[in-house]
A and B are shown apart, each in its own frame.
Chain A
Amino acid sequence: MAEHFKLTIDGQTVVAEEGMTILDAALASNIYIPHLCNHPDLTPVGACRMCGVEVDGGRMVMSCMTPAKANIDVVTDSPDIEKSRKVTMKLMIMDHNMDCLACEAAEKCDLLRVASYLGIQPDQLENMRPLGRDLPLDTSNPFFQFDANKCILCGICVRTCEEIVGLSALGYINRGFKTVVGTFGNKGFVDSVCESCGECVVRCPVGALVPKKPGIATREVRTICAYCGVGCGMYVGVKGDQIVSVRGDRESPVNLGSLCVKGRYGFNYINHPDRLTSPLIKKDGEFVKASWDEALALIASKFKESKGNKFAALTSAKCTNEDNYLVQKFTRLVMETNTIDHCARL
């Protein structure tokens, strides 16, 4: 068990755990300190300069980079702090496409959240934006797109790809004022080593990296990905009777919230018009729709004539344990043979 200790934040006594930063300690106690580049899964870098606080009346430190210590006295807001945050914010907004109404991030946007914390109104934002940038959209990936004009250079995507995916497909390109995030050689996502997993997309705090078809689910069901043997835990989002989104289950010890491209984006086949929706019986070389009763009666009569060594079953490594259990029970008990196998060898 990590050790616990007390400290004071804005006059309030809070309990923190060994290893927490001041920002972690504040957020854990529901005290908001504005921040943009911090993410609980990633190493803090102190890049956005928003989370500055004063400790024991001394000079300002970045709370995401400063370990919480016992008995310190933290102040999260003061005229000096506010001034510094507003200057930083203005610089950020100058570089940001503030077409908020048309933006996917909408109410999820951390930039808007911090702006409103600082008392900057949306109509003021436009005035603060003398320099428009006009960088091309990267729409090369079929599942998500990247708009560098909305990027705030928090580096969350860069660190996600490096620290979570272990790939480092993304990095900073150019220097100083011209810095942008991009793939190696600034080619489109599909022409880079990117594996389309979407981990960076789910963590983007603004509207720079967004899914092309954002699905707004009305309910979510926890289940397991059906593609590969890793067995990642996932939440499947539904609207009406359609699947509209998938996200990783952070509580799963298997994937800790991560998914790959197939698990996250590969669910559309479920609604594909090619789905079989009724039993079919072949008559004169053509498949003809049949009722379950007809199909079952035909199968029962044919299977009755082929018990023992006249029968074989191939069961499926895609089906559930319960499905497989029943196919083998059926084969052994009803068809009186052990000739059942599946595709495990392939």
Chain B
Amino acid sequence: MAGLVTTFGSGAMTNSIEEIDNAGTIMVIGANVTVAHPVISHRIRRAAQNGATLIVINPKEIDLVRAADHFIQPASGSDTVLLMGMARYIVDNDLHDKEFIAEYTEDFEDFRKSLELFTPEFVEKIAGVPWDQIARVAHIYATGKPSSIYYAMGIAQHSHGTDNVMAIANLAMLTGSVGKLSTGVNPLRGQNNVQGACDLGGLPNVYPGSQMVNDVVIQEKFEKAWGGELSGELGLTHTEIFDEILSGTIKSLYLVGENPVLTEANSKHARKALEEIDFLVSQDIFLSESGKYADVILPAATFAEKDGTFTNTERRVQRVRQVIPPRGDSKPDWWITSQIAQAMGKNGFEYQDSSEIMDEINSVTPIYAGITYQRIEKTGLQWPCLDENDPGTKFLHKDGFARGKGRFVPLEFTASTETTDEKFPLILTTDRSLYHFHSGTMTRRVGGLEKLDGEEFVKINPIDAKEFGIEDGNWVEVSSQRGTVKVRAKLTDICRPGMCSMTFHFFESPTNEITNPTLDPVAKTPETKVTAVNIIKCK
């Protein structure tokens, strides 16, 4: 989400889910909402029925296309080019919002110059989409206001994912489509509490509330609040952690509810790191593929067995309540962490219940300062919520951007790191299933869901299948530079020719063993959406 921080000053969804109802134009790019955010997709389809123009841009013909007015199917990895092409059309046809640009943004001229590269011919060639299609949706986006954009991992999981996000932000600023009702830029967060994990400082560079760890004033504030010395040095990210385990620097890993052996791109690397680490603690509700490497396993309670809050994709902090007692001797995660701290003799972890933790969060996290259990008893509040009288924030950047002025970022064309060649002639992209969640540890233990979708398939266009001599249901080997997985093939024209797709829910066919781990240099997101592969039929 670094791209939005650079341009707007905040990385979260600008608008609320309910604002979908009143949008004039809804553009969904790189997001398979019907499977990853089902109830939002209901709302988008409803809005489309009630008169909003729905534009879907995706290299796959996802289910939402059935409800769309316009569908563009660009080549994987060409999003920045396509979005810059749209911007170019808007500027060339004088459809940009000059007043908004002058009042609320900066660096427009640099950005305008960077559009020169993106001629109709160039955009058509890279994106593989006729220019008039691109021009048509650009026209609708610029004129059919209020316009809002929804995107997800299809935009972010690229080595140039930050560019993609900034291209979206540029487009929104260009047309003045941000900071108003039903108008904005909306990254849809995948897992239930990704937003909250980020907000509460589950990141190597920030304390709760996006307060930088290398800012001395902030550091002192937390040292005082917590009563101890803190490091002002940035920590390591996800992928760097595995590198440092393998290099021998990191000796202990505390793994809370994560399963990197299935979810990490190029997961062999993660698996090797977990094999080699000196001391691994895995705290989870099930023994996961990663947990098998642990030295100590701690049984955690599920969401139904504990109290707390989740923050949803629209920044709404909502109350999670204990429904049943924890199974066996399992315990809420907060309790476990506080016990480890106390066992190490540290003060400041003597919480009686989760509400005491929220009180502390209120006192050190300005954007959460006014969000108390009492106030969210009935309905959740959306941050920023600065004090007990603040009603919360329905949409962001209402009177100017969080960073002051919105910043246009000139962009160039960057190709994906993996392109097809003779050895690996197809592009593999990852996706999700409606019936499963993440590494499947929960959903694959629900009989009915497993019945609806119990096996991985590599989805491949019939034209390619014919060329590779593959029939529907055949067992095939999908290989990349990094390895091979065995899976059955499903022939479907939802994939463009030249492209195939797999999910990562199934441990029997661990897709991430072969995905492309090249990181976006800023956001550190791996390029799992573009991996060059070969497919051969098993003998």
Answer yes or no: do A and B interact: yes
Q: Which residues of A contact B (CB under 8 A)?
A: 141-143, 162-167, 190, 193, 195-197, 221-233, 236, 238, 241-243, 251-255, 258-263, 265-272, 274-282, 287, 290, 292, 295-300, 302-306, 308-334, 336-346
Q: How far is the CB of B411 from chain A (nearest CB, A)?
A: 21
Q: Is the CB of A228 within 8 A of B192?
A: yes
Q: Provide the residues of chain A in CB contact with B196, threshold 8 Å.
A: 317, 320-321, 324
Asked if B249 lies at the interface with its beta carbon under 8 angstroms from chain A, I say: yes
Q: How far is the CB of B523 from chain A (nearest CB, A)?
A: 7
Q: How far is the CB of A171 from chain B (nearest CB, A)?
A: 15
Bitwise, B326-369 to A at CB < 8 A (1) or not (0) is 01111111100111110111101101001001101100000000
**A242 to B323 alpha-carbon distance, docked (Å):** 9
Q: How far is the CB of A209 from chain B (nearest CB, A)?
A: 16
Give the residue name and chain of the B residue nearest to A276 (CB).
Answer: B299
Q: Provide the residues of chain B in CB contact with A197, threshold 8 Å.
A: 38, 42
Q: Provide the residues of chain B in CB contact with A260, threshold 8 Å.
A: 38-39, 434
Q: Which 9 A-B pairs have the closest CB atoms?
A: A277-B328, A166-B45, A231-B312, A320-B308, A316-B257, A338-B235, A260-B38, A142-B448, A276-B299
Known A-B contacts A230-B17, A305-B251; A241 and B324 likewise in contact (beta carbons under 8 Å): yes
Q: How far is the CB of A199 from chain B (nearest CB, A)?
A: 8
Known A-B contacts A167-B45, A254-B312; A313 and B254 likewise in contact (beta carbons under 8 Å): yes
Give the residue name and chain of the A residue nearest to B248 (CB).
Answer: A310
Q: Is the CB of A226 within 8 A of B302?
A: yes
Q: How far is the CB of A293 from chain B (nearest CB, A)?
A: 9
Q: How far is the CB of A192 from chain B (nearest CB, A)?
A: 12
Q: Is the CB of B202 within 8 A of A275?
A: no
Q: Is the CB of B192 within 8 A of A299?
A: no
Q: Which of B207, B281, B310 contacts A226 (CB 8 A)?
A: B310
**A200 to B212 alpha-carbon distance, docked (Å):** 48
26 residue pairs from A and B, CB less than 8 Å apart: A164-B46, A166-B67, A197-B42, A223-B303, A229-B312, A230-B38, A231-B380, A241-B324, A254-B314, A260-B434, A267-B446, A269-B302, A276-B299, A277-B330, A279-B297, A279-B299, A302-B252, A303-B254, A303-B344, A310-B249, A312-B253, A316-B257, A319-B333, A321-B310, A333-B228, A341-B237
Known A-B contacts A254-B312, A277-B328; A221 and B191 likewise in contact (beta carbons under 8 Å): no
Q: Is the CB of A344 within 8 A of B337?
A: no
Known A-B contacts A142-B447, A229-B188; A300 and B343 likewise in contact (beta carbons under 8 Å): yes
Q: Which of A228, A271, A343 contacts B37 (CB 8 A)?
A: A228
Q: Provide the residues of chain A in CB contact with B49, threshold 8 Å.
A: 162-163, 166
Taking CB atoms and an 8 Å cut-off, the chain B residues in 30-73 that contact chain A are 34, 36-46, 48-49, 63, 66-67
Q: Which of B38, B200, B324 contacts A228 (CB 8 A)?
A: B38
Q: Which of A166, A232, A259, A323 contacts B46 (CB 8 A)?
A: A166
Q: Is the CB of B452 within 8 A of A339?
A: no
Q: Provide the residues of chain A in CB contact with B34, threshold 8 Å.
A: 195
**A263 to B434 alpha-carbon distance, docked (Å):** 11
Give the residue name and chain of the B residue nearest to A227 (CB).
Answer: B437
Q: Is the CB of A324 within 8 A of B197?
A: yes
**A198 to B202 alpha-carbon distance, docked (Å):** 35
Asked if B231 lies at the interface with its beta carbon under 8 angstroms from chain A, I say: yes
| Most A Cβ at <10 Å: residue of B252, B260, B284, B309 | B252
Q: Is the CB of A196 within 8 A of B254?
A: no
**A306 to B451 alpha-carbon distance, docked (Å):** 45
